[in-house]
Amino acid sequence: MIRFIQAAAVCVTVYVGATTAQLLGLDIPDLLSSLAPAAANDPRFTNFHPPGTGDVRSPCPGLNALANHGFIHHDGKNMTIPHLLEGLAAGMNIGADFTTAIGAAGLLSSPNPLGGSFDLDDLDMHNFPIEHDASLSRQDAYFGNDYSFYDPNWQQVLAAYKGKTKTDIPTAAKAKYNRVNDSMTRNPEFTYGLREFILSYGETALYLQTMGSATSNGVANLNYVRELFEKERLPYDLGWRVSPTPITLTSLGQQILALYASGPQPVPEGAKVTADSYKDIFEVIVGGSEILANLTGGLSTAVGL
């Protein structure tokens, strides 16, 4: 958390009102227009290689799976926003707005926020930008390793489905709520404010949409979801295919709203959850839309952030 505050301070000092060199010379319209899912016969979908010596990974199984398949650098290093835009679109049809937001947060997580890139293990920062207590598949930071897959927590998620073969909004919301209650009970340093509340719902929305689709209303094959979390592998051989519709901050925000409406969990701090809450949280994390625009060389403005 201390590193986040320092990084944010650097960006406030350096980026606001300054010219950003990170994406200098990049043709933003050309980049955005080129983004698309990879062809169905792209060999990367079946070319799976787990991390080797010297490779790094994040607390996010989705990013790790994309690295394991080579849609982003297999070593998990030197992640620039243009590289992530291309890789996340190709491997999962993740929209440019979400990738730009998470990429900017990733830059802030780097020990060198002004360097224009970050490594996946930089994202292992407690409560910023994607690691949080009550993860579906990771331990809380209080217990030690908060970045590797932790099966006991994941089994709590699967138990909520009670033998179902498909996901659904009510069960996914219950599974998330069960994890929150478990962490709240066992972790004396449990942290769960509005930011963590929204990000943890986003974690659920992401697996529902990446393993289903942006328009599947929370329905996905549970075997696909298990392959993603348990093996950090894209379940192409099981029949999964990329969502035909881009997965965006808007689609994820709408899914978060549906999950919240279906679940029993009260909103922290008396806040109101809307379909824009997910986008708003990322802007808060980065430090506001002006810093976000400067940090991304104008990309965030081009994608509506």
pLDDT tens for residues 15-67?
333 334 445 567 899 999 999 999 999 999 999 999 999 999 999 999 999 99
Mean pLDDT, residues 129-150 taken together: 90
Question: Which phi-psi region, left, alpha or beta, contains residue 284 (left: φ > 0; alpha: ψ -120 to 50)?
Answer: alpha
Q: Among positive and negative, which fits the CA dihedral 274, 275, 281, 287?
A: negative
pLDDT classification of 113: cutoffs 50, 70, 90: confident
pTM score? 0.90
Cβ distance 252 to 213 under 8 Å? no
pLDDT mean across residues, the chain:
88
Mean pLDDT, residues 121-136 taken together: 86
What is the CA 211 to chain-centroid distance, rounded? 14
Residue with the larger pLDDT of the pair 305 and 89: 89
Cα→Cα distances 123→110, 119, 137, 182, 250, Å: 8, 8, 16, 24, 23
Q: Where are the alpha helices (DSSP H) in the chain?
A: 2-14, 28-34, 61-68, 81-92, 96-109, 151-161, 169-186, 194-211, 222-231, 249-262, 277-286, 289-295, 299-302
Which pLDDT value is given to residue 1? 37
Cβ distance 281 to 195 under 8 Å? yes
Count Cβ atoms below 10 Å from residue 156 Cβ, excluding itself: 16
- 147 has pLDDT over 80: yes
Q: Of all residues in the chain, what percent carry a pLDDT higher than 90?
A: 68
Mean pLDDT, residues 261-290 taken together: 80
d(CA 294, CA 305): 12
Burial of 265 (0-12, 13-18, 19+ CB in 10 A): middle
Q: Among positive and negative, which fits the CA dihedral 60, 66, 70, 73?
A: negative
Mean pLDDT, residues 217-234 taken together: 98
